[in-house]
Amino acid sequence: MKRVFNFSAGPAVMPEEVLRQAQEEMLDWHGIGMSIMEVSHRGPEFQSVLEQAEADLREVLKVPSNYHVLFVPGGASTQFAMVPLNLLSETNKEADYIETGLWSQKAVQEAKRYGVINVAAQTKLHEGLYSLPLQHEWRLNPKAAYVHYTPNETVGGIEFHWVPKIPGIPLVADMTSSIMSKPIDVTQFGVIYAGSQKNVGQAGITIVIIRDDLVRDPLWHTPMLYRYKTHAEHHSCYNTPPTYAIYMSGLVLAWIKQQGGLTVLEERNKRKAKKLYDCIDEHGDFYFSNVVPECRAMMNVVFWLRREELTKEFLTQAAQAGLMNLRGHRIAGGCRASIYNAMPEAGVDRLVEFMEDFAKRCS
Ligand SMILES: Cc1ncc(COP(=O)(O)O)c(C=O)c1O
């Protein structure tokens, strides 16, 4: 058997311990003689998996009791519609969006189907470097039903390292590529959502953490499965949920606890990201980042080769060295190393070594 270092942006590397546990439990989960994927979602076995996953998520993220934790089928893109459908109302269809990259752009496009969307701020480009708009530059609508932003843009590798403060207006965050990378204060948000396939398991579900008062009647035409109320009232089991995806998330959450929680993971993540950005900056005549240092993403390190024509060879040789999936997003180009929680520090060390060596050989 061989395992490589997988820098995929998502679906992404999983903790090896989690994969091994899933393998061990595949045919006979906890002595029941069946896989957990073979049993009813309403039976005691799966219900215990669901309850434990929720309890662990609440513990790891310190989710207060006035927030629901929902496991919603579909990807984070489903939330691009669910957020406006549920947070706009017949009397207020205005919302603010902060547009900082591909994913927030998609969120805006979807929200426009349902409401009047104000793009209150956008990424800035100055002398070839991208940065995020500071809060005093946001042109917020005081009547907005909510403000939506993307703390980490996975494609551009650009991250807010601060949380906006907007008194009286719910803040909605697409944390798909940053959830579980560090501790957060859940009370600063009205809604947090995150597709599971990066830091919380395999693809198939989206975790939604939503404050009680925001679980309310949606726009009248909202389908049952797009209503937060449906998922909250039925404890994420209105219909048959992707049970195996929830089981895998449960294993990852237990792994996070076992690692020592988010403070420990944040330290490790910061160290990993610093090693890569240091390597890029120290070899500035060969590699470069197009994001200002204070906005660089911890989970998705995007970089470019100054001689762009060498990118293909760089990726080929990296793959031969067991460093896989370093190609940048198909729209953006360049290179991207996604270094989620499950990427061991040894993987980053190997990548840094390879990058230094490649730069030396090709300079
Ligand atoms: C920040 C962010 N939002 C939304 C999405 C879309 O997620 P999905 O493909 O699960 O719909 C992604 C996917 O990578 C993402 O990184």
Q: Does a structural domain hold residue 354?
A: yes
- Catalytic-residue membership of 103: yes
Q: Are residues 191 and 323 in the same domain?
A: no
330 pLDDT more than 90? no
Q: Are residues 139 and 76 in the same domain?
A: yes
Q: Does a structural domain hold residue 312?
A: yes
Where do the H-state alpha helices sit in the chain?
16-25, 44-61, 76-87, 102-111, 228-233, 243-259, 262-282, 311-320, 345-362
Angle of CA points 49, 54, 60, to nearest 5°: 120
CATH classification of the domain holding 317: 3.90.1150.10
Q: Does a structural domain hold residue 66?
A: yes
Hey, what are 205's tokens? 């579900």
Residue 113 has a pLDDT of: 98
State whether the beta carbon of 100 lies less than 6 angstroms from ligand 1: no
Give mean pLDDT, residues 97-105.
98
184 pLDDT more than 90? yes
pLDDT > 90: what percent of the chain? 98
d(C-alpha 352, C-alpha 258), whole Å: 28
Rg for the chain (alpha carbons), in Å?
21
Confidence band, pLDDT 50/70/90 cuts, at residue 344: very high
- Mean residue pLDDT of the chain comes to 97
Q: Are residues 46 and 164 in the same domain?
A: yes
What atom in ligand 1 is closest to the CA of residue 150?
A: 1
Q: Does a structural domain hold residue 268?
A: yes
User: Which of 1-5, 11-15, 78-82, 205-209 has the least mean pLDDT?
Assistant: 1-5
Q: Are residues 208 and 272 in the same domain?
A: no
Q: Are residues 105 and 160 in the same domain?
A: yes
Q: Which of 56, 96, 174, 255 is catalytic?
A: 174
How many angstroms separate the alpha carbon of residue 79 from the centre of ligand 1? Answer: 10
Q: Does a structural domain hold residue 1?
A: no
Residue 295 has a pLDDT of: 98
List, as one string, the DSSP characters of 228-247.
Answer: HHHHHHTTT-SS---HHHHH
Residue 179 has a pLDDT of: 98
Residue 47 has a pLDDT of: 98
- Give the amino acid at 209: I
Q: Are residues 145 and 226 in the same domain?
A: yes
363 pLDDT more than 90? no
d(C-alpha 247, C-alpha 48), whole Å: 10
- Catalytic-residue membership of 112: no
All residues at 6 or more sequence positions from 130 whose CB lies less than 8 Å from its CB, including other chains:
123, 124, 156, 158, 290, 291, 292, 295
Ligand 1, residues 99, 110, 154: which to mutate, most atoms within 8 A of Cβ? 154
d(C-alpha 228, C-alpha 214), whole Å: 9
332 pLDDT more than 90? no
Q: Are residues 268 and 248 in the same domain?
A: no
Domain of residue 273, residue span: 260-362
pLDDT digits (tens, 9 = 90+) for 32-61: 999 999 999 999 999 999 999 999 999 999
Number of domains in the chain: 2
Q: Does a structural domain hold residue 11?
A: no
Among the three residues 228, 259, 290, which one is the final residue of a domain in this structure? 259
- Catalytic-residue membership of 174: yes
331 pLDDT more than 90? no
How many angstroms separate the alpha carbon of residue 132 from the centre of ligand 1? Answer: 19
18 pLDDT more than 90? yes
Give mean pLDDT, residues 213-228.
97
State whether the beta carbon of 174 lies less than 6 angstroms from ligand 1: yes
Q: Are residues 220 and 235 in the same domain?
A: yes
Q: Does a structural domain hold residue 351?
A: yes
